[in-house]
Structure 1
Amino acid sequence: MSVKNSAKRKPALSGMAGDVTPRQRIWDAIRHQHAEDGLITMQGIRIALKRQDDLPESLVSGYLRALIAGGFLVRSNPEALPATTAIYFLKRDVGVEAPRVRRDGSLPPPPGREQLWRTLKIIGAFTGQELADAASTPKVPVAKATADEYIKMLARAGYLQTMVESSPGVPGRYRLMPSYWTGPMAPQIRRTKELYDPNTGEVVYSRVTKTEGGEP
């Protein structure tokens, strides 16, 4: 493939649905504009968001400022008058997941479940303790109980293959099914005991909490 044709290729957008964060929706809108013509404006973000007009402009502009501070966006006319439409360019496209950048442009450490999700892709077969140990960092340690809960939900949703069944004195051993690596964002355990995959926008597992006779 020539460099010319490669340059015309548009980056994949997330196409996520469901419980995505406001920042994720804004990031999708930014990447959509970047893919269309490279010019990013507040009006263009609103058009890309379509009917998702429940996001206040202060939230959108605040996230834009954080992205600029973090080096993800640059403004082409920083000295323009307030009435002039601000034009931005996407300097660092880091993929479908919205950067979790702070106001000052710094990045917080990833939550424990995201560390677990990334780790289980590369660790091979693992127990809950092994996964927790491998996913832990000095700033964000991951408890075995957190790993065990996540493993249980992923296994129920079909993401994991059980290599060794757990039994008294013998921890279960698992590995990720290769075809179930759906993307960089960690599947989320909801309060309703559902597992939601933000990479696909689908609820991939839902525990039935009631039967005719009550809870199972």
Structure 2
Amino acid sequence: MAKTTTRKPVHLEAQGPKGDRQSMWEIMRKLHKGGEPITVRDVWMLGAEWAPKGRVRDYMAGLVAAGYLRPIEGAPGPSVQYELVKDCGLDAPRVRKDGTEVTQGRGREQMWRTIKIIGEFTSQDLARAASTPDFPVAEKTANEYCVMLAGAGYLQTVRAGRPGRFARYRLITSRWTGPRAPMIQRLKQVFDPNTGEVVYTRHGRDGGGDA
């Protein structure tokens, strides 16, 4: 039976512009919630028609290898049908074709989540609080992230840094744009994936930072 594209329930849809992986994952969850099998063709047509079908196939292979999807044995039809057996929530699992986790950007995600709950902090505080046993965050990484977020207007500088003293920051509550961490791009600019906008570009030595 042909499937039609309809507006996804809000609990199945991430806000803001999405990459291929996120769009594919949302379609898989939608099909699963509707009691329908998941196929490469359906995911491609309903959620990632602008991407090569091979990219959909590779991502689904990675989800199978990582234990998120499982082929349905004896399913009718020429296409392999899958079921979602591990639903980790709204954000798409970041896996390679072999099922191993993509760790690029993990530290940034951990810092963004931590910033929302930590209150006032220095970059040193943030590095400690955001680190996990499997993925520690370096103080240098936290410092650069704080400087860029302050320059972009996400953080208020409560106390400027100076030699021997770390700057202190606080999240500006109204600037929490969503759960997806703002990214520092190679051109020293901040891109917010929640809004799809470049919100700040650093020129020279703009901004403060830790001593």
TM-score under structure 2 length normalisation? 0.75
Is the counterpart of residue 170 in structure 1 residue 165 in structure 2? yes
**Is the 8 Å Cα contact of residues 126 and 173 (structure 1) preserved in structure 2?**
yes
Check 1:105–1:125 CA distance in 2 against 1; reply closer, same or farther (3 A cut).
Answer: same
Deviation at 1:206, TM superposition (A): 3.0
2:79 aligns with 85
Determine if contact 1:125/1:174 at 8 Å carries over to the other structure.
Answer: yes
Paired residue type of 2:80: A
- 138-147 vs 122-131, which moves further: 138-147
Number of the residue aligned with 1:100: 94
Letter of the structure 1 residue corresponding to residue 108 of structure 2: R
The residue type paired with residue 112 of structure 2 is W
Matched with 2:4 is none
1:58 aligned partner: 54
Calculate percent identity across the aligned residue pairs: 45
Note if 1:197 corresponds to 2:192.
yes
Residues in 1 aligned to 2:101 and 2:49: alpha-carbon distance in whole angstroms: 30
Mark the CA change 1:75 to 1:84 in structure 2 (over 3 Å): closer, same or farther.
same
1:120 aligns with 2:118: no
Question: How far does the alpha carbon of each residue in 1:173-196 deviate from its partner, in whole angstroms, 9 at most, with x for none?
Answer: 112223333333221111122211
CA distance in 2, matches of 1:10, 1:121: 22
CA contact (8 A) 2:15 2:178 kept: no
Q: Aligned partners of 1:116 and 1:136: how far apart in 2?
A: 8
Distance in 2 of aligned mates of 1:10 and 1:120: 25
- How far residue 120 of structure 1 moved from its aligned partner, in angstroms, is 1.7
Report the CA distance between 1:43 and its aligned residue. Answer: 2.0
Aligned length: 196
2:69 match: 73
> Following TM superposition, by how much is the alpha carbon of 1:197 offset from its aligned partner in structure 2, in angstroms?
1.6
Contact 1:132 1:147 in 2 (8 A): yes
Residue 134 of structure 1 and its aligned partner are, at CA, apart by: 1.8
Alpha-carbon distance, 1:103 to partner: 4.5
The amino acid that maps onto 2:58 is G
- TM-superposed CA distance for 1:152, in Å, is 1.0
**Partners of 1:26 and 1:9 in 2: how far apart?**
15
Q: Is the 8 A contact 1:116 1:132 kept in 2?
A: yes
- How far apart, CA to CA, are the structure 2 residues paired with 1:35 and 1:171? 48
Instruction: Give, in angstroms, the shift of residue 50 of structure 1.
Output: 5.7
- Matches of 1:119 and 1:164 in 2, distance apart? 19
RMSD of the TM alignment (CA)? 3.0
Q: Which runs of 5+ in 2 are unaligned?
A: 1-7, 205-211
Q: Secondary structure at the match of 1:95?
A: coil
* TM-score between both structures, scaled by the size of structure 1: 0.74
